[in-house]
Structure 1
Amino acid sequence: MARFLAALILVLVLISMLQTMVMASHGHGGHHYEDKKKFGPGSLKSSECPSECSRRCKKTQYHKACMFFCQKCCRKCLCVPPGYYGNKAVCPCYNNWKTKEGGPKCP
């Protein structure tokens, strides 16, 4: 019985690791955004930045700072990733712009 339980736990751990590797290999945390033109580089006009950043920063407790940096990034990159956080791989410019300290500049 103990061997069966140990084998079951091992199988569950392996399945979990496999699922994590598959999700990571997609680069979107498991989300798939087929319409790259809607979110990708150059998909926005600078006049659309305030509304897109408002959507992006909607759920953060640091709304003012999020809006400031999001709009700065949006004006430069002309894109804002989908969702409230993450998904930055959809917009490489937004993802790769770093602070002087090397941290992410864009929320």
Structure 2
Amino acid sequence: MAHVEKYTKGSVQGLSIHWDRKTENHSNQEIDNERSNLNYDLCEKEGDTLSRMNDRLREVHCLNRKDVKVCSDWVVTLPENLKVTSEKEQREFFEKTYEFLANRY
């Protein structure tokens, strides 16, 4: 299952703090800070989310309006049949999904 959400530039700054786990006090009580080291970024580029977005916006033509969507967030859920597979196979699933989405969108 996959879900996409699109954001304006004004909303990305606060979200990037959440995505990059730059705070210890999360409103979501289910976040386990001790497991944050297990997170990985499939983009694997230098810098945090906000700086990468700003770098990309400098590369492309984008209207300077408050309502322009400049960022999207995909949530992809691991299929049930892959939950029993190794971490390597699970990561491979997410890497292939990322590659597909990056090429398509």
Indicate whether the TM-score tops 0.5. no
Where relative contact order (Cα < 8 A, 6+ residues apart) is larger, the structure is: 2
TM-score (norm 2): 0.26
TM-score (norm 1): 0.26
Q: Which has the larger radius of gyration?
A: 1
